[in-house]
Structures are given as C-alpha cells and as structure tokens.
C-alpha cells in the first residue's frame, strides 16, 4: 500500500521565511498560509476580484498553481487530488461567475465527504450587497453544500481562518470549506502572524468510539451465523484498509464494498463479494437480504445501495459505524450504533475480535459467487464496453488510479475493474456529476506523479469538461484518457429502454466531435479502436506512449448494465439481463 | 407517527450567517419551524436560538444531530423533554372606539395583559405567556377587529438550577 506523506515536510529554510513577521498583503499572507499547510499545487482561474492574489503568485517560486480552462475543471481536479492522496485539495476562482462555476464541484465534494478548501474572491467589502459588477453571494449560495464557510473581513484574520479551514475540511466527516476574500482584504497590509493551534468550541468530532458499543458489536459477531460487512468510503477516508483486512480475517465475515468503498478492501480477497445495490452483484445483494447481522463500516445506506428501504436487510441486526452521528438511524434503524472514526473503531475491535459462526454461510456465499458471477455476452464483431474495462484491468493489474465519469461506463468500471488499493478509485458517487471524470484525473495525477492514472469517460460526460485536454498537453500530464463511445447517453438510454418502454427521448449524441481529432487539436495523441484487436493494440500503444493519450473505444450502443434493481424493488429483485 | 411540538434551544457562536445556516438546515431537510427566536445569551459572543418544531421522535433526533454538525453550533438542548418555562409576547392592535374600551379592558385584565398604547380608534395590547394563552386572548379580541398582530415566537428555558 502506498500512502503519501500526509503533510509535505517543508524545507526548514522556507518555513522560516514564511513565518517571518513581515508587513505583507492579504494575498501574500494567503499564499504563505497555503504553503504552511503543505499545499503542493493549487488549481484555479483568475479574474478581477483575485488579481491581487494572482499578482502575489507572479514570480513566487515556491507556490505552484495550475491554470485550468474552466473553474469546474479546477475544482474537480482539486477533488481528484484530494481523493487520491488524502490531502486537502485547493482551488481558487474569482467572484461572481468564477465562484458560481464552482458550485457543482463543491456539491460533488460535499456529497462524497471530500476535503477541499475553496477560495473565492469577492468584490471589495464596501461594495458587498450593492449588486456590484461580478458580485455573487457565494457564501449564501453554497451554504447547504459546504461544511463551513468564511467571509474574510480583515487581512489579519486570514492565517487563523485558513488554518481552521484546513482543519475542518480534513477532520471528522470531511468536506469542502469555502473562504470568500473581498478584493480590498486581499490588498490590505498587515503584519504576518502565524496561526496558533486550532480552537473551535463547537467542533469536536468523536474519533474514539465508546468501548461498550464496540464490545456489543463483537458479541453480536460471535453470536451471528450469517454476518455481512458493508464497507463504504469511510474506510478509505480514514485510511483503515489494513485494519479492515485484519478485522475480516479474524471474524470470517463476507464483505461487500459500496461504490465509494471500492479499493478500501482488496478485490482479490476470497471473502469479497463485489458491490451491492442497484447495479450490485447477485451475491452481495442476496447476502445482505439473508444476513442475520449487517455491519456497516463507514457507509451511509444511500438509496442506490438500499433501494426499497423497508425490505432492506430484513432479517439483520444492524451495526452502524460512522464518524457522523447524524448518519446513524437516518435511513435505517440501527441496533448497535458505534460513533467514531472507522480506523479507531477497528483498531479497538481487532485485538478482541472473534470468529463468527459463519463457516456454512461463507461456503454458501462462495457457491453463489461461482454460480452467479458478473458476466456479459461477449461478441466477436462488436466491441463490448465490459471487455474494454477488463482489458484495462488486465493490463494495469488492478493497480492504476482510475477515475470515471457518470453513467454506464462508471458502473462497468465499478464492476469489472478489480481494485487492489485504497485511494486508487475516484468517482462521483453521491452527486453523480457528469464532467467529473476527466478533470479529476488531472488532479489525481498531480498528486501521484509516479503512478499510472487512467480516466474512463462516456462520450457524453467527456464533452462536459474536454477543454482540460489543454492542461494535459501543455503541462505534459500523462493521464491515459479513455472514451467509451456508445454514441448515446447510455445510462439514460438504458432507463428509457427498461422503464420507459423504449421511448428514446434526447439520448442521441449525434454531432459529437471526432474524439481523436479533438485530442489532436489540443496536442494530445489520439487513438481509436472499434474491435478487440484494435482495442488491444491501441490500449497497448497508449500505455507505451509517455505523456497524455486519448483512446476512443467505439462500443456496442445497446449494451445494458446488469444486474439492475429498478426503483421500488428490494435489492434481491434483480434483473439479471443478458448475463443469465 | 407521533407528531408533537418540540422546543429546542441552540447555543451558537454569534457569527454572521449562523442564523441562515440553522434556518436553511430546517428548510433543506424538510423539518418545519413553528417559530424561531434569537438573542444574546449569558456568555459574550454567543447567541441562543429557541426553535419550536413539530415532528416525531426520529425527526427530533435528526434535527438535533444535524444542528450539531453546524460548526458554529455549540450546544443543542431539547427543552421540552424537561420541565420548562416557555413564554411568548404578542402585540395586538385592536379596534377600540371609546365606548368599547371598558369591555376590551376586561379581557386584557383577565389575561393579565397590558395596554401599551392608546390611539383615537384603537389600543395596542401586550400579552405575555404561553402560546396557548396568546391564542386565547387573540381569539377573544377578534370580535372587536384586530388590525395588526405580531408575535415574538417562543423563548424558553428549563426550570430550576439545571442548565
Ligand atoms: C451534470 C449531469 N447532468 C445529467 C446527468 C444525468 N445522467 C446520468 S448518466 C447520463 C448519461 C451519461 O452518458 P455518457 O457520458 O455517454 O456515459 P454512458 O452512460 O453512455 O456510459 C446522464 C445524462 C448527470 N449525472 N450529470
């Protein structure tokens, strides 16, 4: 497992320089504070209200900023950076339209508990509230989708606010924090004073669990005969993979990982059952429905996992481990709540954990896995999207960092890419944001310069942020960009086929660009494949080519994602489709 | 589901935007607000909100937990699960020609309310008490013609020395 240093160790010299009590502008103070927080790279886009900030960057050799081509690209990149490294992602935009262009990205990060510090400029303090040029109340607009936000009134408050923002973003249940800086504040001169320790009275996340609750859980495990673990993003976010593996090995409990939990547990482990829910595996869904004990570890019973709530895990006693007490009992009635960080809970549980009485159950699970694996009807003529994902999986041994956009391809990657490592999977789960896949890969690559980053997109979503090809080309960011081109908004087409009786309404993507030419127009190498032989060759060439490459796979248009559970059904009422 | 009224007190950092965050939370999560009052607390820099909401036990639990997630929220107490004092103030401008005044004053006296302004054709009555009491006096003044009514919403605290 390769987890990067959580905080970059600053060179002592630089640190001293940054801490000097000079009289500096708010902008310089901002940059110093970001460097002191260990920020390696900021993604952003300038404009009137942040001119002082961008001026302070000019000629500053220590500060690294990547200019994207759209603010949405910047924030998704910061998000990909954060998810793949565990560090706080940072982006900057100007006031008004710059700030509002960040809204989708903020909501994306909020829904998936991703730590971001989002910096926006605003009009000068005196002009706030006057509908000044490029004024938007971004603090107000983003209130429901930020963990906390600040409107900075004085330059001397910046060090404290920035330090608090990083702390809040990356502790407890993580999330985006917005800092709105009026233009005059970014120009104001003040003596720089390094921030002291964070002291926020109303903010004390419960990290250590209650021992009695952990013991209750362990007792329930010993008594259980058909236990199941449902592991989510909380495992990845608290860096608890190793603890989880130990827990599973000790207790002998079959485990399913949610969309955001993928990579949090090695897919090669014999007790892993794949993903649950709407497009989950037969085994995972059946196991949940028949379990006598369901232990949710850092997952939040999202409706795409539970589907019809009453009727979800009907026979199971529910244990819910979560850092956010508000998640407990929100959707599913919980018998044993355990509030705390997943890592701390498992650390406490592991030394005392005993085996469940699960031998028979495990055998039953193994039989289900064998009898009902994920499968698709392969074709010798048409290229199947699942085949493309398998090809990528085989050639990268499940070890690449993979980002996806939203739609059918996302589900196929979740199903057919066999993740081995935590933080190697970057996808928008909660908000399901199209346009996220490609720019998030740029951020992931910036945070992991030595790793292979593959970004898998639909032909629809690719067109929502394709302008960022420029960033890859000009900075030689070697992301391998995959476009699974089925010529339609595939996931919408699938719903219209299955639920709306083949009434295809506005899903045809005719008029899309030639993706190879599009890549080449930006100076990125482009390749196309329409059958298996071409796919293997093109993909190999992409892997062998240094620098960014876009590969377009022209695939079967009418392929569906199976299994599928439709709305209003319980998760064991699966449409198995072509696969069975 | 058992829908009941709950009175919650919320101690918050007196920061710009806190009221918006709290009110927004209720709106976004579909919790209803019957009334909300805000003012200074015993500690400088902290304000106390008293919110009356209607919902079942589950909703109440969610409301409290979601409130705690707001960084500037310091303490949340379900006052109504304790013996509490809850008071509201109302100002009622009621039509009152001189001939009707004795009758109106009779109502005012019965409720231990007060007349705080006298105009040529109207009176302003100030009533303090539980929401039920305010409802009752309002009902009784209606026949004279209420021109304007304003209520503060409930503020409350737990009885005795428990804080
Ligand atoms: C910003 C945004 N708009 C709309 C949607 C609704 N939506 C979900 S999947 C999908 C189709 C995606 O099509 P494509 O990118 O081609 O991927 P595919 O499903 O074909 O793999 C749409 C439109 C969304 N998730 N995000």
Distance in angstroms (rounded) separating the CA atoms of residues A528 and A537:
10
Looking at the partner chain, which of A168, A328, A329 has a beta carbon nearest the beta carbon of B71?
A168
Contact (CB<8Å) A326/B74: no
Contact (CB<8Å) A326/B62: yes
Distance in angstroms (rounded) separating the CA atoms of residues A128 and A130:
6
Which entry of A28, A37, A63, A71 is annotated as an active-site residue?
Answer: A71
Min CA distance, B71 vs chain A (Å)?
Answer: 6
Contacts of A324 in chain B (CB under 8 A): 69
Query: What ranges make up the beta strands (E) of B14-118?
Result: 35-40, 46-55, 73-78, 84-95, 114-118
Is 60 exceeded by the pLDDT of residue A139?
yes
A437 lines ligand 1 (CB under 6 A): no
The proportion of chain A whose per-residue pLDDT surpasses 70, expressed as a percent, equals 98
The closest of A460, A470, A434, A486 to A548, measured between CA atoms, is A470
Contact (CB<8Å) B71/A203: yes
Contacts of A147 in chain B (CB under 8 A): 71
The more confident residue out of A411 and A5 is: A411
Is 80 exceeded by the pLDDT of residue A1?
no
pLDDT digits (tens, 9 = 90+) for A231-282: 999 999 999 999 999 999 999 999 999 999 999 999 999 999 999 999 999 9
User: pTM of the full predicted structure?
Assistant: 0.96
Average pLDDT over residues B3-11: 95
> Which positions in chain B have a beta carbon within 8 angstroms of at least one beta carbon in chain A?
12-13, 16-17, 20-21, 24-25, 28, 58, 61-62, 65-66, 68-75
Q: Which atom, in ligand 1's list, is nearest to the CA of A486?
A: 20
Average pLDDT of chain A is 96
Q: Does A147 touch chain B (CB under 8 A)?
A: yes
The proportion of chain A whose per-residue pLDDT surpasses 90, expressed as a percent, equals 97
pLDDT at A5: 40
Paired residues of A336 in beta bridges: A319
Min CA distance, A324 vs chain B (Å)?
Answer: 8
**Residue A436 a catalytic site member:** no
The closest of A184, A155, A135, A66 to A474, measured between CA atoms, is A66
pLDDT digits (tens, 9 = 90+) for B107-125: 999 999 999 999 999 999 9
Looking at the partner chain, which of B20, B71, B74 has a beta carbon nearest the beta carbon of A140?
B20
A385 lines ligand 1 (CB under 6 A): no
Is 60 exceeded by the pLDDT of residue A579?
no
- Cα(A121) to centroid(ligand 1), Å: 31
Scanning the structure block, which residue is given the tokens 């508000």? A326
Which domains does chain B possess? 4-81 (3.30.70.260), 85-158 (3.30.70.1150)
Looking at the partner chain, which of A139, A200, A325 has a beta carbon nearest the beta carbon of B71?
A200
Average pLDDT over residues A417-425: 98
Which domains does chain A possess? 12-191 (3.40.50.970), 211-371 (3.40.50.1220), 385-554 (3.40.50.970)
Please give the structure tokens belonging to residue A340: 């705390």
Paired residues of A564 in beta bridges: A575
pLDDT digits (tens, 9 = 90+) for A206-229: 999 999 999 999 999 999 999 999
Q: Does A200 touch chain B (CB under 8 A)?
A: yes
Q: Which atom, in ligand 1's list, is nearest to the CA of A385?
A: 21
Contact (CB<8Å) B61/A149: no
Q: How far is CA A21 from the centre of its chain?
A: 38
Mutate to test the interface with A, among B49, B62, B71, B77 (most CBs of A within 10 A): B71
Q: Around Cβ A46, how many Cβ atoms within 10 Å?
A: 18
pLDDT range class, residue A11, cuts 50, 70, 90: confident
Nearest CA to ligand 1 atom 2: A434
pLDDT at A575: 95
> In three state form, how does the secondary structure of A67-106 look?
ECCCHHHHHHHHHHHHHHHCCCEEEEECCCHHHHCCHHHH
Average pLDDT over residues B53-62: 93
Mutate to test the interface with B, among A122, A202, A203 (most CBs of B within 10 A): A202
pLDDT at B1: 62
Mutate to test the interface with B, among A326, A330, A337 (most CBs of B within 10 A): A326
Whether cis (ω within 30° of 0) applies to the bond prior to A563 is yes
Looking at the partner chain, which of A144, A148, A329 has a beta carbon nearest the beta carbon of B71?
A148
pLDDT digits (tens, 9 = 90+) for B63-94: 999 999 999 999 999 999 999 999 999 999 99
Contacts of B74 in chain A (CB under 8 A): 201-202
- Cα(B157) to centroid(ligand 1), Å: 51
Please give the structure tokens belonging to residue B126: 């100030």
**Residue A301 a catalytic site member:** no
At residue B127, the 3 state secondary structure works out as strand
Average pLDDT over residues A55-68: 96
How buried is residue A329: exposed, middle or buried, by Cβ count under 10 Å (0-12/13-18/19+)?
A: middle
Which range (A468-482, B15-29, B80-94, B136-150) has the least confidence?
B15-29
CA distances from A502 to A48, A446, A496 (A): 49, 43, 6
């Amino acid at each position: 497992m390769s987890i990067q240093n959580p905080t970059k160790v600053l060179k002592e010299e630089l640190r001293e320089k940054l801490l000097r009590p000079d009289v500096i502008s708010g902008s310089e103070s901002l940059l110093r504070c970001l460097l002191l927080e260990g920020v390696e790279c900021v993604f952003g886009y300038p404009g009137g209200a942040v001119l002082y900030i961008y001026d302070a960057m000019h000629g500053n050799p220590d500060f690294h900023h990547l200019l994207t081509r759209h603010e949405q690209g910047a924030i998704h990149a910061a998000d990909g950076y954060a998810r793949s490294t565990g560090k706080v992602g940072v982006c900057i935009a100007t006031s008004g339209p710059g700030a509002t262009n960040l809204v989708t990205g903020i909501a994306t990060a909020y829904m998936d508990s991703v730590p971001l510090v989002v910096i926006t400029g605003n009009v000068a303090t005196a002009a706030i509230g006057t509908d000044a040029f490029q004024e938007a109340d971004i603090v107000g607009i983003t209130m429901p989708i930020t963990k906390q936000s600040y409107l900075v009134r004085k330059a001397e408050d910046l060090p404290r606010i920035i330090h608090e923002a990083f702390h809040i973003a990356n502790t407890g249940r993580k999330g985006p924090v917005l800092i709105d800086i009026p233009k005059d504040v970014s120009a104001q001169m003040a003596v720089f004073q390094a921030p002291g320790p964070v002291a926020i009275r109303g903010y004390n996340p419960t990290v250590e669990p209650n021992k009695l609750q952990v013991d209750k859980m362990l007792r329930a495990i010993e008594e259980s005969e058909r236990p199941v673990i449902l592991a989510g993003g909380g495992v990845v976010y608290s860096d608890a993979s190793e603890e989880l593996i130990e827990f599973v090995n000790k207790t002998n409990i079959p485990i399913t990982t949610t969309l955001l939990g993928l990579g949090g547990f090695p897919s090669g482990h014999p007790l892993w059952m794949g993903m649950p829910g709407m497009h989950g595996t037969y085994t995972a869904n059946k196991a949940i429905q028949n379990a006598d004990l369901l232990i949710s570890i850092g997952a939040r019973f999202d409706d795409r996992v539970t589907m019809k709530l009453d009727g979800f895990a009907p026979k199971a006693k529910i244990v819910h481990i979560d850092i956010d007490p508000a998640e407990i009992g929100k959707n599913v009635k919980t018998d044993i709540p355990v509030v705390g960080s997943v890592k701390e809970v498992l650390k406490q549980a592991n030394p005392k954990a005993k085996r469940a009485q699960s031998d028979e159950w495990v055998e039953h699970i193994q039989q289900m896995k064998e009898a009902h694996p994920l499968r698709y009807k392969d074709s010798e003529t048409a290229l199947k999207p699942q085949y493309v994902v398998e090809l990528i999986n085989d050639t990268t041994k499940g070890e690449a960092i993979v980002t996806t956009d939203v739609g059918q391809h996302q589900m196929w990657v979740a199903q057919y890419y066999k993740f081995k490592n935590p933080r190697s999977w970057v996808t928008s789960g909660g908000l399901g944001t199209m346009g996220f896949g490609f720019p998030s890969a740029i951020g992931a690559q910036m945070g992991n310069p030595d790793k292979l980053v593959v970004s898998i997109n639909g032909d629809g979503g690719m067109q929502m942020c394709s302008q960022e090809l420029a960033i890859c080309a000009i900075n030689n960011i070697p992301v391998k960009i995959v476009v699974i081109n089925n010529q339609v908004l595939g996931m919408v087409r699938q719903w219209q086929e299955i639920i709306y009786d083949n009434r295809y309404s506005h899903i045809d993507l005719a008029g899309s660009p030639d993706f190879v030419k599009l890549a080449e127009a930006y100076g990125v190498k482009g390749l196309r494949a329409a059958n298996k032989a071409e796919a293997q060759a093109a993909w190999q060439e992409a892997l062998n080519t240094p620098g960014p490459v876009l590969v377009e796979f022209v695939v079967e248009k009418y392929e569906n994602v199976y299994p599928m559970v439709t709305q209003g059904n319980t998760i064991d009422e699966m449409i198995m489709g072509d696969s069975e | 589901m058992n829908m009941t009224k709950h009175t919650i007190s919320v101690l918050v950092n007196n920061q710009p935007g806190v009221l918006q965050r709290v009110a927004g939370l209720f709106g976004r999560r579909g919790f209803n607000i019957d009334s909300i009052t805000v003012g200074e607390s015993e500690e400088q820099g902290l304000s106390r909100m008293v919110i009356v909401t209607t919902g079942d036990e589950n909703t109440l639990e969610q409301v409290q937990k979601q409130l705690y997630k707001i960084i500037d929220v310091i303490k949340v107490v379900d006052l109504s699960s304790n013996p509490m004092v809850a008071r509201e103030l109302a100002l009622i401008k009621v039509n009152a020609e001189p001939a009707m005044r004795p009758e109106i004053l009779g109502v005012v006296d019965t409720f231990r309310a007060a007349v705080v302004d006298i105009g040529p054709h109207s009176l302003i009555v100030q009533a303090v008490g539980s929401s039920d009491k305010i409802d009752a006096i309002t009902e009784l003044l209606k026949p004279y013609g209420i021109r304007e009514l304003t209520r503060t919403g409930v503020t409350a605290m737990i009885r005795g020395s428990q804080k």
